[in-house]
Amino acid sequence: MKIISVIDRFKPSRRKSTTLAGKHWVSMGAATILLAGVMAWPLGAKTLSVHIGKPYERVIKDSSFPVEDKTTIYPGDPNDPKDPARPGSTWISSPTLIEFDDPVYGFKLPPTVFGAVTYVSQKVSTLTTSPMTETLPFAEALDRLVVTQSNLKSRGWKLEPLEKNDWFNLDSVPERERLRAKLFDQAVGIDLYVPGKYSLLLLIKCYASCDKQDQSTAKYLIDISVGRDRSGA
């Protein structure tokens, strides 16, 4: 399934799109992320509680986020009982905590101002978001990426068995510098999954001042995309 980065909805990007691990994902997770000293969680941030397959009415009930106010509704055909009004997508544009509330593989993300949930047949179909409220310099973005990847591992998310699909290796300075150089040309991501349930893309990309290839001004963004696993595993 193709998921378009929700962040690109808010600010057009001139970065190249990229095909990753055999899928046409273009971005946007993680277990509970505690980033003391990295970011402050805004007071009053609302929580959006979702997982793939969750009924829309349960999303409303379980969330403090104003789901109904932020959801586009397709009107359907009032004269056709088989074509009722139904939710299309829920959009996030103010500080919101994302809770992926699966009882086993669930995770919480720090506040974000980027996010969208889509629905099919009154149930959550996709989630696209970011564990960030703004683009960050390379070192800060990588710290966020390391924490996100570590927490995904701890919650049982696994690498999909795809060619050249491996965990980010960021333990050494040379590895980090190789990633930095690559990000000036394309986004880099890994495909994770829960067999038979969920598929997730964790991706990092250079998002601002990238064309100049200036390490002092470039800013980076992490995207997280979640959908249903269709690998057949």
51 part of a folded domain? yes
Give the residue numbers spanning the domain of 75. 7-228
Tens place of pLDDT per residue across the chain (233 aa) = 334 454 454 443 333 333 333 333 333 333 333 333 334 455 668 999 999 999 999 999 999 999 999 999 999 999 999 899 999 999 999 999 999 999 999 999 989 999 999 999 999 999 999 999 999 999 999 999 999 999 999 999 999 999 999 999 999 999 999 999 999 999 999 999 999 999 999 999 999 999 888 888 999 999 999 999 988 76
166 part of a folded domain? yes
91 part of a folded domain? yes
107 part of a folded domain? yes
pLDDT in tens, 151-174: 999 999 999 999 999 999 999 999
Report the predicted TM-score, pTM, of the whole model to 2 decimal places. Answer: 0.81
**Which CA distances in Å does 89 have to 57, 130, 176, 196, 204?**
13, 17, 36, 24, 24
Count of domains forming the chain: 1
pLDDT in tens, 99-138: 999 999 999 998 999 999 999 999 999 999 999 999 999 9
2 part of a folded domain? no
17 part of a folded domain? yes
1 part of a folded domain? no
78 part of a folded domain? yes
